[in-house]
Amino acid sequence: MTDIEEVKKGTTTIGLVCKDGVVMATEMRATMGTLIAHRTTQKLFKIDDNLGLTVAGVVGDAQTLARYITAEVELYKLKRGQQMTVRSAATLTSNILAGSRFYPYYVGLILGGTDREGHHVYALDMVGGAIPDDFVTTGSGSPYVYGVLEDHYEKNLPVNDAMDLAIRARQAAMRRDSASGDGYAVASITKDGFAVLDEKEIQKRLAKLKLS
């Protein structure tokens, strides 16, 4: 049976609180043991204009949860006429995970976004724990990411600089963790909404950082 240690295997996901928003990033490799099963796996999801989700763990569980949370957030917005706050979305996700304890979702999640209270990221585990922090990383590449973030992260980083930092940290994981690789997904969430970096922009940043 899969356990919490299994959920930690494969994947590198990152969430950073910035001065003017949140940055979230993942890579795109899916593994089955030592086999690289897919090279274009979606691990970063837009939940709403102000909310994003990164996923590590079992792909089917992650995709199901992303759809589930997106639907609940949309229903909330339709009923109340306003966006769900990040804390409420984290509580919703925590309740979904905790309520499935006997048939758990084998995932590790980062939920992040911006609202009238500020900018936030939450780490969520497979049994419903939800912990806010300034920066979070999950997956097998996380030790390498933490090494970069502990040295370079500053709470008042502008979003633009935080995207470069997320790319640098993601590159460190790719170099040392065989389960992380095959591309980048990077998004910012600000008062202007949810925006994903395209491949051309990512390559420009890699060249500027001398990482390409």
Catalytic residue numbers? 11
Tell me how crowded residue 150 is: count the other CB atoms within 10 A of its CB: 9
Give Cα separations from 56 to 26, 41, 43, 64, 167 (angstroms).
9, 11, 7, 13, 18
**Burial classification of residue 208, based on how many CB atoms lie within 10 Å of its CB (0-12 exposed, 13-18 middle, 19 or more buried):** exposed
- Going 206 to 207 to 209 to 210, the CA torsion angle's sign is positive
> 16-33 as b/e, with b when 16 or more CB fall inside 10 Å?
bbbebbbbbbbbbbbbee
**Distance (Å, whole) CA 193 – CA 104:** 32
